[in-house]
Amino acid sequence: MKQKIHPEYQQVTVTCACGNSFHTRSTMCKDIRVEICSACHPFYTGKQKFVDTAGRVEKFQRKYGGEYFKRTKK
C-alpha cells in the first residue's frame, strides 16, 4: 500500500445560520457553514417553523443563470 495518500483528518468548526456552532472532524476545509442544524431544526426542537425555501430557489437560479428553465420549456 502507498503511504501518505489520504487527506489529513482535522478538526473543523460547523457554524449554523442560527448562530449555533460545534466542532467535529473532517477532511474538508477548516470551517463549514450550514443553514439548519439540530439546534434549530423543527424535528429536533419540536417547534413548527417555516424553512426558507425561497433562498434555495434563488441560489439555484443564480447558479444556473435561468438557463435551466429556458432549455426545459422546448
In a domain, 43, yes or no: yes
CATH of the domain at 50: 4.10.80.400
Please report whether residue 1 resides in a domain.
no
Domain extent, residue 17, equals 10-72
pTM of the model as a whole: 0.52
| Per-residue pLDDT, 53 | 64
Mean pLDDT by 10 residues, the chain (74 residues): 85 90 88 85 72 72 72 58
Between CA 50 and CA 48 the distance in angstroms is 7
Per DSSP, the residues of 17-41 read TTS-EEEEEESS-SEEEES--TTT-
Q: Is 60 within a domain?
A: yes
How many domains does the structure of the chain reveal?
1
The whole-number pLDDT of residue 30 equals 81
Give residue 11's pLDDT.
Answer: 93
* 38, 44 Cβ separation under 8 angstroms: yes
Q: Per the domain annotation, does 19 fall within a domain?
A: yes
